[in-house]
Amino acid sequence: MTRRSRHPAKTLLLLAAFGAAAWGVYRYWPALNQQIRGEEKRPDPELIERLQEQVVELLEGDPCSLGLQDVAWRRNEGRFVVRLDADPACGHSAAKELCARVARLVTAKGGHPASVFAYNGAGEPVTQYIE
């Protein structure tokens, strides 16, 4: 009787494939269940209105800001999306800092991460900041 030995590379590959599949199920299963059952953690419309007011107050004193376009909730990602107009004369770094300040404010007050996008007067994207 001969004993058949398993190849170690095949065993390692199967272990890695099983681990990747288990991680995928562990990572995405709760989100999939929420979508199937229709359970969503959606913020109150009043919270979004308060965030809009606070962002407008933050932008009032900034010379690079031309105003706020929108504060919205991105359901699939579970984050706020803020779109604002930035003065193209201020440059990329000033617009990036403005986006970072707005993102920190929205994350702190809203309780969820934020993505902030800055556009110039023509509607072209200048920069973004994603927490």
pLDDT digits (tens, 9 = 90+) for 5-63: 778 888 889 999 989 988 887 777 777 766 666 656 678 889 889 999 999 998 898 88
pLDDT digits (tens, 9 = 90+) for 46-57: 988 999 999 999
53: Cα within 13 Å, side-chain hemisphere? 6
Mean pLDDT, the chain, integer: 84
pLDDT digits (tens, 9 = 90+) for 94-126: 889 999 999 999 999 988 899 999 998 788 888
pLDDT at position 49 = 92
pLDDT at position 115 = 92
Cα separation values, 90 from 21, 30, 58, 98, Å: 48, 43, 17, 10
Binning pLDDT at 50, 70 and 90, where does residue 2 land? low
Q: What is the pTM of this model?
A: 0.66
